[in-house]
């Protein structure tokens, strides 16, 4: 999988199966809405996709694969979405039906208070 880590430059990393399984156990406990519907909007090779893809698949939930900018027509609103702070302006500008109903997990880069101002989705927000 790929991660930018602290450098901001993508690089490949190796993760042991045991560590991967432990993380998914943690995610299932920390984010209960993974057992419902999660929105996967990033490539599966990106580290952020691990939670949105494998979390629901290991907790009985389902994964909806779509772009954040994709029209909401025909979409079922997700309960869970994981984004970086850079994604927040996209969420503020899309149809409310694209925003998660329960948990929005934000991380991977600095989160400034202005990013959560008026356009922020009305969900439970967890920093990761």
Task: Give the CATH number of the domain where residue 89 resides.
Answer: 3.40.50.12780
Domain of residue 97, residue span? 2-127
pTM recorded for the entire structure: 0.77
| Residue-level pLDDT, tens digit, the chain, 128 residues | 666 666 667 677 777 888 889 999 999 999 999 999 999 988 887 778 889 999 999 999 999 988 776 666 667 789 999 988 888 877 777 777 667 889 988 887 777 777 766 555 555 555 54
- Tally the domains of the chain: 1
b/e sequence 54-90, b meaning 16+ C-beta within 10 Å: bbbeebebebbebebeeeeeeeebbbbbbbebebbee
């Amino acid at each position: 999988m790929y991660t930018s880590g602290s450098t901001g430059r993508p690089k490949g990393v190796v993760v042991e199966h045991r560590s991967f399984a432990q993380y998914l156990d943690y995610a299932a406990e920390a984010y209960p809405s993974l057992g419902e519907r999660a929105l996967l909007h990033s490539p599966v090779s990106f580290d952020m996709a691990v939670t949105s893809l494998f979390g629901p698949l290991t907790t009985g939930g389902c994964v909806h694969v779509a772009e954040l900018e994709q029209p909401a027509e025909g979409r079922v609103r997700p309960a869970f979405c994981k984004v970086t702070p850079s994604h927040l302006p996209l969420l503020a500008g899309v149809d409310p039906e694209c925003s998660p109903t329960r948990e929005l997990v934000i991380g991977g880069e600095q989160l400034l208070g202005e990013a959560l101002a008026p356009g922020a989705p009305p969900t439970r927000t967890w920093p990761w």
